[in-house]
Each structure stands twice: as C-alpha cells, then as structure tokens.
Chains A and B, each alone.
Chain A
Amino acid sequence: MSNEAAANGSRPFGVSIPALRDYGIYFALLVLIAFFSISVPEFRTWDNAILILLQVSVIGVIAVGMTFTIITAGIDLSVGSLLALAGILSGQFAQKDPTLLNMILAFAVPIGVGLIGGALNGAIIAGAGVNPLIVTLGTLTAYRGLVVWYRVNPIYDLQPYYRIVGQGTGFGLPIPVLILALVAVAAWIVLSFTRFGRYVYAVGGNREAARAAGINVEFVIFRVYVISGLCVGVAALMFTSRLMAAQAISGQGFELQAIAAAVVGGASLFGGRGKISNTIVGALIMGVLFNGFVMLDVSQPIQQMAVGIIIIVSVWLDGVLRNRRRKRRLRGRWALKGDGTGASSVPELGAGK
C-alpha cells in the first residue's frame, strides 16, 4: 500500500524490482530527449534544458498537488480557475506601491487564496461526501465565475520587484525551477516518510480497510485538497510573476495538463498509486514534447495528436507491465510488499519510520 521508500525489502539483490514499470517512463523521457537532440541541434543546449524546466515549473507544481488527490482516488479539476483567482488577487497588491505590506500581501495572498479554495473543495468532498469529480467540476465553474465577475480586465502594471518569483534566478537556475524542486522534494518526503503520507496511500488503496484500521479518512481527504490548493496558490504566484500580468482567463485547461502529467507518471485514477518523482517526469515529458515540437516547427494540431497518443500509450503500457508483474508475483517469483499498487490492504499502519 505504501510506496517504494516505505517498502521494506525482502527483495533479491536489494534493488527495487518494479524496474520496468517505474523506469519505463524515464526511458520514454530519454528516448524523446535523444530524438529531439538529434533532430534539432539547438535542443541539446544547456539553455534549452533550463528553459524546459522553467516551462514545466507551473504545471509541475500543480501536478504535485494533483498527485495527492489522485492517490486518494480523487481529482481536482478546479486548479486552473483557482489559479486565476489567486493570480488576480495577488496582482491587485503587486500593482500597488511597493510598501512592505503590499509586497508581503502580493506574495502571501495567492497562497492564502489557494489554501482557502482547496479547503473549500476538501470540506465539501470530505464533509458532504460528494464525488470529487462533481465538486471540483462545480468549483472549476464557480471559481472562474467569481474571478471574471470580480475583475474581467487583466492587471498588467505590476511593480518591478514582483518579477523576482517568475523571472529571477538563483544558483544559476530560474527561481520557478527551484520552487518546483522544493515543492517536489517536500511532497516526496510527506508521501514517503510521514504517517500522513502512508494514510494517503491507504485511503486511496482501500478506503474501507483504512477506516477499519482507524484512519480518519475524511480528514485525510480534506487535507489532500488543501495541499492541492496550496500548490495552486504557489503556482499562481509563479505564473503571474512569470507573465507579469494577472488575467481572469488564466489557467484554462491546466487541470488536464496536470492530470496528464500525473497519469503519464503512472498515478492510478482508481487511487492508491502514484509517485511524485514520476509525476515530475510525466510533466517533463509534456514539456520536452512542447519545446521540441515548437523547435521542429511542428504545427499545433499534430502536437496535440502526439500528446494524446502518448498519454494513452503510456497508461496502456503501464497497465501491461503491471499485469505482467502481478502474474509473476502470483507465481511467487518475488516476494513483494508495499509496491504501491493499491492491491494490498492496509498493513503496517502507524509503523512510523
């Protein structure tokens, strides 16, 4: 039920067995990088590598939050609308005179809006027990309506200091890339090494068993949506600062990009399975495709077809590999435990490491 890191190892050779499945996606990324590197000389430059990381940073951060909800067999469709709302409210303060208070608010307000929007999603889903797909489809519409009603025109005359989050650099890397790394590592630690992380997998793997084991399922679900909202708030700040403009129409379709990153990364929409590292690789695959295709001068309709096919093939391949592995396991070739497939029930709860 838990993930790789929490799994303990009666494994031969002391290495992770699910190599094919887990590394299949890394392999796919390498193939794409190799293909574009050969086709476009400018693709294989350091500048372009950094650019790809920069271009996936916003969706990457959202996809990290999305991974939490997907592991619990949930989904958060409201991310794009919430991003626009958080961005506009951030922009309102970023536009004002750069007093200390305004500066703090410009950076803190989007985070707060993300948290509130996520908490609202979580409260309805966990509290009222309504299907997350329906709830967040509702808030996708409602948050968008709210932000358009609040302010339809873009805010563009943002103060220069605001640029730092989206366009600044640190340690030779763009700040958004550093933020993505920070968010991803934090999420990885939470999912892998904390009791809450194991609860998240348990709730997604088998909700009733999790409940029987004494987990406060509703509270876990609530917190998962708060985390998603928090990630959206951070992403809103990055996005608005990168563009130096806040728009009510921002973020349309981001939910699908984030879901695609997580799913290509092997997260199961049925819950119980998903890894932050794989989600990031999923986002990178999307980013490499976009960047490489644009450099190759491939037109957008063809890009869309390719991305669609890659989503389907990767999920299909993932299923095939997993099935094969399950069969092998049934044959008792390997003693696997805690592979994060969600097939097992809820052992080792509270066995805090």
Chain B
Amino acid sequence: MKASHIATLLAAGVVAAIAAPGARADDKLTIGVSYQNLAFPYVAALQKAAQNACKALGVTCIEADAVNDTNKELNNVESMLTKGINCLAFEAASLEASVASINAANKKGVPVVQFNGKAGGGDYVSFVGSAQTDSGAKLGQFLEGLYKKAGKPKLRGIYLRGVAGQVTDIARNDGLKSYLNSAGLGDKIEFVEQYADYDRGKGQAVAESLLTKDKSYDFIVANNDDMILGALQTVNQFGLKIPMAGVDGLPEALAAIKKGQLAATVFQDPEGQGGGGVWGCYLAIKGVKLPKDLLIPFTLVTPDNVDNFVAIADRVYVK
C-alpha cells in the first residue's frame, strides 16, 4: 500500500549493488520469470519491464509464458528449475492451481518472488503487486469528485464489469462500492451494471444497447480500459458527452485523456510490478530481507497529471 515500501526496495537494491561491486563479474545469476499470459498487452508490458530490469541488473533471465494454463505453467517452471535458476519471479495464472508451481520451486530450495498475480499458497519470499480493491476505490474517488462537481442530488451511470466471477472483477467492484459507502455516497450514486468480459467489442455493444434505451446517464465507468474505450466509440458515434473512466492506464486511454475524450483512468504500474519481480529476486539472492508484501499503489490519472504517466507507458508498453 505504501509507496515508501518501493522506495525501500529500490534503495536496498542500490545499496546492495554498491556494496557488492563484484557481483556482476563473479557469479552469473539466472532468474526464471514465469508470466500468466503474454497475449494481454498489460502482461506484455510487465515482460518489457522485467526484461529492462534483467538488463539493468546484468542477470540472465529465462522467461516462460503459461498462456493462462496452469498445467503449462507447472511444466514451464519445472523445466526452468531443471535448467538451474537462482530465483523464480512468478506471476500466478490462478489462485489455487498455481500453488503447484511454487511448491515445485520450494522443493528445489529456489526462492520465489511473486508479482502482479499471487497464488493462494506455497512459500514465497515476497509479493510485488497491487491490491485490486484499491483500483476500485480509485474509481470511487473519481465518482466522488464527479458528484461534488455535478451538484445533483443523485447520479446515475453505467458500470461495465469484467468477467463474472473473476477475482480482479470482484475486487474492483468491492473496492468501488465500499469507497462510495464510506464516503456517504452509497445511495447517491446508482449503477446500471453489465458484464462485458473486459472486451472492447462487448463494451461497445453493451453501451450501444444501454444508450439507445436511455441517453441521460451521468457517467460510464469500467473495470478496465478496453471496455471504456469500446464504450467511447459508442458515445462519440451517438454524439454524447458523458464523463468516462476505466482502469489500467493503457497508452491509448492516456492519449484519450489528453484529448479530453476520457475523464480518467486508474494507473496500474507494470514497471513497478514486472521490474519489481526481477528486482525482488535479485535482492533475495543477495540476502536482502524483503517485506512479505510490497504493494504498489494505484493512481487516479486525470488531465492534470496524465503527462507523468505517459512517460512510464512509453517505456514499457511495446509499440
């Protein structure tokens, strides 16, 4: 949750790097990095950040893609362990089934640092990621600001949910609703909710149907940027002006904020997460004691601060 944790991590890293000047020369470290599914742009960005960290640290990184398949994930991890790795940076593909991969590393005595996605068991050194409820809370913060500006007793809007039953979707929903409740807005902000599977095309189609029925919505929010960008096509095509916000901070969403088409997005930091996984591994090998959870905060991106995030996005999102 605290940014100071990352600062600690990085500071410790710098200290370790300075304290052990011969580290790069004397032993060639190998870090295994296992990703959930590289077909997602966000995971591809994690990969770019991890690769940048590998380069910066001068370690060899072996990478593997689980393609959302925990069986493949286990096979990947086992073959990395056979090849010989000093640490496993691991992005769990599933809450339960990914525990097997961590157990495999535990058995070989290889330390595990988890990043972005965390499995529900197994021994690990540290988790570098974000609390997804926090991203929902940031959407809530956006709506709170909107409510204060609107000067209406009640706001009514569309909430595009992700995949029904999926962990992140539930967490973001919980975060949003509980933020609004604690801000005393639980009964003042009303949602029409539909799942759109995190999919841009479905976000567009759902928005089309809902806005054909009723064009008077005060806002549209979504549990990821893809859906809000799909809805944006509809809003533009219908010639409407509705404040809209998503979650992720895709370069495209940032560009839309700069153009004034989107009101906000919630930035999830691939550099901190992907890079943090490799950094955490490096420090663990060097014997630095790491906190169990290194939580990277989400940030609400608005036209006021969007420029700060464009730079990060440019570094890690593959063009």
Contact = CB atoms under 8 A, between A and B. Distances in A.
Contact of A299 (B195, B209, B230, B251): B195
Interface string B219-237: 0000000100110010001
What are the 8 A-B residue pairs with the smallest beta carbon separation, nearest first? A300-B195, A294-B209, A42-B213, A152-B44, A156-B252, A148-B39, A291-B209, A295-B213
Interface in A175-220: none
A244 B206 contact: no
Contacts of A248: 39
B-side binding surface: helix, strand, loop or mixed?
helix
A300 B212 contact: no
A161 to B, nearest CB: 16
A272 B193 CA distance: 43
B233 A243 contact: yes
A299 B237 CA distance: 25
A244 B233 contact: yes
Which size bracket describes the interface of B in this complex? 20 to 34
B240 interface: no
Contacts of A239: 201
B1 interface: no
A45 B226 CA distance: 29
Interface in B62-96: none
Contact of B44 (A153, A157, A300): A153
Contacts of B250: 154
Interface in A279-311: 290-291, 294-295, 297, 299-301
Given A55-B208, A300-B194, A250 B201 contact: yes
Q: Which of A148, A153, A242 has the most CB of B within 10 A?
A: A153
A244 B200 CA distance: 10
A314 interface: no
B214 interface: yes
Contacts of B199: 249, 252
Given A48-B212, A243-B201, A294-B209, A152 B41 contact: yes
B233 A242 contact: yes
A297 B193 CA distance: 8
Which size bracket describes the interface of A in this complex? 35 or more
Nearest to B205: A55
B150 interface: no
Interface in A12-65: 40, 42-43, 45, 47-48, 51, 54-55
Interface in A135-193: 144, 148, 152-154, 156-157, 167
B318 interface: yes
Interface of A: 40, 42-43, 45, 47-48, 51, 54-55, 144, 148, 152-154, 156-157, 167, 239, 242-245, 247-250, 252, 290-291, 294-295, 297, 299-301
Contacts of A244: 233
Contacts of A242: 204, 233
A239 B202 CA distance: 12
Given A154-B252, A295-B212, A300-B194, 11 more contacts: A148-B39, A153-B41, A242-B233, A243-B230, A245-B200, A247-B200, A247-B226, A295-B209, A300-B195, A301-B164, A301-B195
A-side binding surface: helix, strand, loop or mixed?
helix
29 contacts: A47-B212, A152-B40, A153-B41, A153-B251, A153-B318, A153-B319, A154-B41, A154-B250, A154-B252, A156-B229, A157-B255, A243-B200, A243-B230, A248-B39, A249-B199, A250-B201, A290-B209, A291-B209, A294-B194, A294-B206, A294-B209, A294-B210, A295-B209, A295-B212, A295-B213, A299-B164, A299-B193, A301-B164, A301-B195
Contacts of A154: 41, 250, 252
A40 B210 CA distance: 12
A42 B194 contact: no
B127 interface: no
B39 A299 contact: no
Nearest to A52: B209
Given A243-B200, A245-B229, A300 B164 contact: yes
A271 B204 CA distance: 35
Interface in B231-257: 233, 237, 250-252, 255
B18 to A, nearest CB: 36
B66 to A, nearest CB: 14
A177 to B, nearest CB: 13
B267 interface: no
A239 B200 CA distance: 11
A48 B318 CA distance: 39
Nearest to B193: A299
A245 B252 contact: yes
B200 A152 contact: no
A300 B198 CA distance: 13
A250 B197 CA distance: 12
Contacts of A156: 229, 252, 255
A51 B214 CA distance: 14
A51 B233 contact: no
